[in-house]
Structure 1
């Protein structure tokens, strides 16, 4: 049972106002001027996908890295303002980021 369900049990007659709903929607969007760069490299003979170019907070970018790794069921890391994903998943990552509202640019190959 999450917090929303607990609040509904405590206050069954309460309905959220439009401003509360809009605040939640604003939290989900990241404003990005320049596109994120999604590129492919080989390190030590193994393919990796690198995502860089995010201008927001590091904590948001780390959360995004966690979501991508969970969606693809692969390993990866967040280092030096880059998300490094094990394997060549540029197409899937780009479609995921576009669904999230980011502009994405493919670099290399």
Structure 2
């Protein structure tokens, strides 16, 4: 007897709610018409990727930074309306942002 059967025995009148998964991952993030700038720099000899040019709320940009860092499994920060990702991940970041519906422009190289 698995857990579902045990729950049905305990609560026979309960009907489980069907959770509808949203097809869009970014339903809570505002999409803009202007492209987000994706730059590559070296600071203290180490490569970083910088995203700037988002005109929405800073909370949405922070959520986007957290999501990017988790998907890429890298460190980074959010400072001065810029997302700074450790390493050169321009191609991966651009594909992730395009899948979310953002326009992305690659600058530098």
Please report how far the alpha carbon of residue 27 of structure 1 lies from its aligned counterpart in structure 2 after TM superposition.
3.3
Please report how far the alpha carbon of residue 30 of structure 1 lies from its aligned counterpart in structure 2 after TM superposition.
2.2
Note closer, same or farther for the CA distance 1:45–1:33 as it changes in structure 2 (3 Å cut): same
Name stretches of at least 5 consecutive residues in structure 1 with no aligned partner. Answer: 1-10
Runs of 4+ in structure 1 over 2 Å off: 11-16, 24-31
Please report how far the alpha carbon of residue 13 of structure 1 lies from its aligned counterpart in structure 2 after TM superposition.
8.4
How many residue pairs align between the two structures? 94
TM-score (norm 1): 0.76
Is 1:60 aligned with 2:78? no
Please report how far the alpha carbon of residue 68 of structure 1 lies from its aligned counterpart in structure 2 after TM superposition.
0.4
In the alignment, which residue of structure 1 is the partner of 2:5? Answer: none
Name stretches of at least 5 consecutive residues in structure 2 with no aligned partner. Answer: 1-13
CA RMSD, aligned part only? 2.5
More helix by share: 1
Note closer, same or farther for the CA distance 1:76–1:14 as it changes in structure 2 (3 Å cut): closer
